[in-house]
Structures are given as C-alpha cells and as structure tokens.
C-alpha cells in the first residue's frame, strides 16, 4: 500500500479517474503472458510526457518501484510488477502524431497498438515490418522496450532496426530526446539501440519515430514438406546460403503438422517429418526468379511435396495453418510453455536434434516450431503446471535447452526478452564483466533502482 500522502500527490497529477488501487482492479495488472504474478500497489494511466515526468519525480523522491506496461503481452514477465509499487499503463497514451511516408517515418505515442500502425500506413502503401504474434494487441512502447521481432524479421530485421528516434523519461523525471527524422543520423551515441530491449529498466518511452517501408509489389508463398527433419533444416541453410533472403521461413515438425491437421483439416501431408512455409516478396520478376531457385534447393534436399499459393485465399490458408499451431498445442494440456532460443542458421539442424533429444529424455510432449530462417526456435511444451513433477521436468528441460543453445553459439532469446523468465541463465551467454557493464549503465541512469526492479539487471 502506498502512503496516503504519496497517493494524493500521484492523484493530483493524473486525476482520480486514471488512478486505480482497489484490489479487484489491481488483480488485473498482476500478470502478463508469463506464468508468474505480483500485485502492484497502484496503477496509473498517464496521457502526456509531462505527467510521466511528474509521476517519476515523485516515485524517485519516495523510491517507489515503477513498472511500465503496454498491453501486458510479455512472454518473459517483463511487465509483472514483481517488487510491487506503481504500474504505469500506457494504453490511454495512444495517439498517432504524424504519418509522413515521403520522409518514411511515423511518430507515435507508446500506447499505439502495432496493428493500428499498420492500419494507418496501409492507405499510403507502406508498412512497419516488426510483426510480433501479439501485434493486434501489443503496443509500440512495449515492442520497443522488448525489441520485438516476428516472422518477417528474417528479411526486414527487428524493432531496433526501425526506431529512428525516441523521447524517454528518466527515473529522475528528466525528459531526453534522441535520434531524429533522418534515415541517416550518426550524431552521438545510437541511444535508441540502448533503449530497445531495455525492458523498462532504463527509462520510460513516451514517444517514438519509427521508420516505415513501402509495401512490396509481389508476394509469393510456398509450403514444402520433407520426409526427413534434417533435410528440412538443411534446405533452410541452403536457401539462405544461395543468397536469397525470404521474408519468412517457418519450420514445423511432424507432431506439429499432425496436431494442426487433427483440428483444422487443411490437407497437410501427415506423413511428412518436416515442413517449411516460405514467403518471399519484392518486384514481381525478381520474386519469380527467386521462387525458381528456392524450388530447386528444396528439391535437392528431397522435398516430397511442394505447394505454391496461387491466390490470396490459398496464401491465407497456408499461414492459417502456421498461425494456428500455438493455439492447437495450447489445448493439449492445461498450460503451455514456449521459449525462443536462437542459433546461427547453420546450426538449426543440430539445435533441433538437441531439443528433440532433451524433451525425449524428460518424457515431455513437444512440438517444434521455428522461424528457421533466422535460427529462432520455438519449442512448445504443453504441460500441467499444477503437476509438480511434470513442471519440474519442463524447467529442467528448458535449462538444458538454454545450455545447448549457448554451446552452439546461440543465445537465450531471439524475440521474447529476458525479464523474469530467463535472467538466471544470463551467465550462459555473457561473461561477468559484461553483466557488470550493464549494471554500471543501469546505476548511472537509475541510481535508486526504481525502474522495473527485480528483472534481468
């Protein structure tokens, strides 16, 4: 509970309507898409940078923990207020400030939903490439704080590649602005990269200038199946090695394909050991040329069935199969865990072997789903959290999966972030001095450690 005097000062800034502290309401901000939960003492909905600044001045003065929240879709618990305090929820600070496609940028407030950015750009023939699975719910502020990715980031890159400038409120309440509306800008440190993926531990994002790109003229989509999972993975490395960068290359194994087919009946090959959903885009002629080469490469790797979408409806059907995978696995048990270890593309076949081996050892059901083109694996394990023994196995299996990824020059997280979920494993991929260096930065900008405390730094 916050002290009445502090509470009154906070209410004075935003008004009583945008301040919540009754238990029934607080319970709705104790969670995100991760498994843990912690109640905040208050939830505040700021609408302006000035309000955020005033709020942080008070939080600093009384050393109250502050956790930023967009739509609460973090998969690693980044928005869970584990040390309680105040949750700043940005869902009401949601204006699109400027759309400028001739200078190729859009300026937005942090609470704008990713999908709404896409909708605003569509009439101009532009889009914003980062496309996390949560894009119709999650906010740009959250996307930046987590450096979100998505299937098409294989070709286009992740959030950090699209943030041209930002306005950030520091723990002290000071407001800093960096970057600009210029595609080229090497003036000073590239601070936007520092804040991308900072998970709310360095400052609170209040505005962002995002780079946007023209929509491609043509899109081609292909579903390929193989009778061998190794060949499936090898086709991925071969295609990329031959100089083609598809928009997306989504890998699914036999268990996943069959689970989808059981429910959705899309005519997928049940005997296939692995499949790839490949999409390319660009100029029409170039797409056709690339498609030919992709087909050659998958044939060389023993593709058993190649299906090209001939119209938008067929394309939608292929993607529907891919997108439904998570939901279908989620229904196999009361809970589901999915992580996002990532390895260099050439190590994808090895990593898949490792994951299969480890989950077999612990006798867990597991489906392989991967943004294979960028080595981003999503092993999905349906399990029952209330079954202590089974849950222990899940945790042990993931610990081994992280270890295996590290040994293959991989990393803990390709797109979900570290948050509460993976901070214990940081030493697997970072030495002591590097972790120390992150702490030094944190200390310098947030000396009282009030911003999203209890997380990875």
**Candidates 111-119, 150-158, 196-204, 206-214; binding stretch for other proteins (CB under 8 A):** 111-119
Distance, in Å, from the CA atom of 5 to the CA atom of 39, rounded to the nearest integer, reads 21
Interface pick for other proteins out of 161, 335, 400, 448 (rule CB under 8 A): 335
CB of 172 to other proteins, least distance (A): 28
Q: Within 10 Å of residue 163's Cβ, how many Cβ atoms? A: 25
Residue 297, burial from CB neighbour count under 10 angstroms (0-12, 13-18, 19+): buried
Coil vs helix vs strand at 96? strand
Nearer to other proteins, 101 or 324 (CB): 324
320 lies in the binding site for other proteins (CB under 8 A): no
Distance, in Å, from the CA atom of 63 to the CA atom of 60, rounded to the nearest integer, reads 5
95 lies in the binding site for other proteins (CB under 8 A): no
Nearer to other proteins, 26 or 412 (CB): 26
Nearer to other proteins, 334 or 427 (CB): 334
Contact assessment for residue 310 and residue 236, using Cβ atoms and an 8 Å cutoff = no
> Cα dihedral sign for 107, 113, 117, 123?
negative
137 lies in the binding site for other proteins (CB under 8 A): yes
Nearer to other proteins, 28 or 215 (CB): 28
Q: Within 10 Å of residue 131's Cβ, how many Cβ atoms? A: 21
In this structure, what are the phi and psi dihedrals at residue 326, rounded to the nearest 5 degrees? Answer: -60, -45
Q: Which DSSP string corresponds to 284-315?
A: HHHHHHHHHHHHHHHHHTTEEEEEE--SHHHH
Distance, in Å, from the CA atom of 114 to the CA atom of 112, rounded to the nearest integer, reads 6
Q: At 371, which helix (H) or strand (E)?
A: strand 367-371
User: In terms of DSSP H, where are the helices of 122-172?
Assistant: 140-146, 153-156
Q: Within 10 Å of residue 447's Cβ, how many Cβ atoms? A: 11
**Candidates 108-116, 192-200, 305-313, 404-412; binding stretch for other proteins (CB under 8 A):** 108-116
**For residue 264, what are its two tokens?**
């959705």
CB of 131 to other proteins, least distance (A): 14
385 lies in the binding site for other proteins (CB under 8 A): yes
Nearer to other proteins, 165 or 382 (CB): 382
**Candidates 89-97, 122-130, 178-186, 409-417; binding stretch for other proteins (CB under 8 A):** 89-97
115 lies in the binding site for other proteins (CB under 8 A): yes
Nearer to other proteins, 259 or 406 (CB): 259
Distance, in Å, from the CA atom of 233 to the CA atom of 224, rounded to the nearest integer, reads 12
How many residues of this chain bind other proteins (CB under 8 A)?
37
Interface pick for other proteins out of 41, 51, 54, 94 (rule CB under 8 A): 94
The site string for other proteins over 56-75 (x = CB under 8 A, - otherwise) reads ---------------xxx--
Interface pick for other proteins out of 13, 33, 212, 451 (rule CB under 8 A): 33
Query: In the complex, which residues of this chain contact other proteins (CB under 8 A)?
Result: 20, 22-25, 27-34, 45, 71-73, 89, 91-92, 94, 111, 113, 115, 134, 136-138, 324, 326-327, 330-331, 334-336, 385
């Amino acid at each position: 509970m916050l002290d009445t005097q502090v509470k009154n000062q906070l209410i004075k800034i935003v008004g009583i309507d945008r301040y919540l502290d009754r238990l029934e309401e607080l319970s709705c901000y104790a969670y995100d898409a991760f498994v843990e939960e912690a109640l905040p003492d208050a939830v505040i909905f700021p609408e302006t940078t000035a309000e955020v600044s005033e709020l942080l001045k008070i939080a600093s003065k009384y050393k109250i923990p502050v956790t930023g929240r967009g739509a609460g879709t973090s998969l690693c618990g980044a928005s869970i207020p584990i040390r309680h305090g105040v949750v700043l929820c940005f869902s009401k600070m949601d204006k699109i400030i400027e759309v400028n496609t001739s200078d190729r940028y859009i300026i937005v407030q942090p609470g704008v939903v990713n999908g709404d950015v896409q909708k605003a750009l569509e009439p101009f023939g532009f889009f914003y490439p980062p496309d996390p699975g949560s894009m119709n719910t999650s906010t740009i502020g959250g996307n930046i704080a987590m450096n979100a990715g998505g299937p098409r980031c294989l070709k286009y890159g992740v959030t950090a590649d699209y943030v041209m400038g930002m306005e950030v409120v520091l723990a002290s309440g000071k407001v800093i602005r960096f970057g600009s509306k210029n595609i080229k800008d090497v003036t000073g440190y590239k601070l936007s990269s520092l804040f991308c993926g900072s998970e709310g531990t360095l400052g609170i994002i209040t505005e962002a200038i995002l780079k946007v790109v023209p929509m491609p003229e043509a899109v081609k989509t292909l579903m390929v199946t193989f009778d061998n999972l190794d060949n499936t993975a090898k086709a991925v490395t071969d295609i990329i090695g031959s100089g083609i960068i598809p928009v997306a290359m989504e890998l699914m194994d036999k268990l996943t394909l069959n689970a989808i087919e059981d429910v959705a009946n899309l005519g997928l090959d049940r005997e296939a050991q692995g499949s790839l959903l490949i999409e390319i885009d660009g100029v029409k002629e170039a797409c056709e040329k690339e498609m030919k080469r992709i087909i050659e490469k998958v044939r060389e790797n023993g593709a058993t069935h190649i299906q090209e979408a001939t119209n938008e409806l067929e394309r939608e059907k292929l993607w529907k199969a891919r997108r439904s995978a998570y939901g279908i696995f989620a229904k196999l048990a009361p809970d589901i865990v999915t992580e996002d270890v990532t390895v260099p593309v050439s190590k994808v076949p090895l990593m898949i072997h490792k994951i299969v081996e480890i989950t077999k050892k612990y006798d867990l059901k597991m489906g392989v789903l991967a943004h294979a083109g960028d080595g981003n694996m999503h092993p999905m394990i349906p399990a029952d959290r209330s079954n202590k023994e089974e849950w222990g196995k899940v945790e042990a299996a993931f610990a081994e999966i992280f270890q295996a990824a590290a040994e293959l020059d991989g990393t803990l997280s390709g797109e979900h972030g570290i948050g509460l979920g993976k901070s214990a494993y940081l030493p697997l991929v970072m030495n002591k001095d590097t972790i120390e260096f992150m702490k030094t930065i944190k200390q310098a900008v947030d000396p009282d450690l009030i911003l999203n405390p209890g997380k990875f730094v």
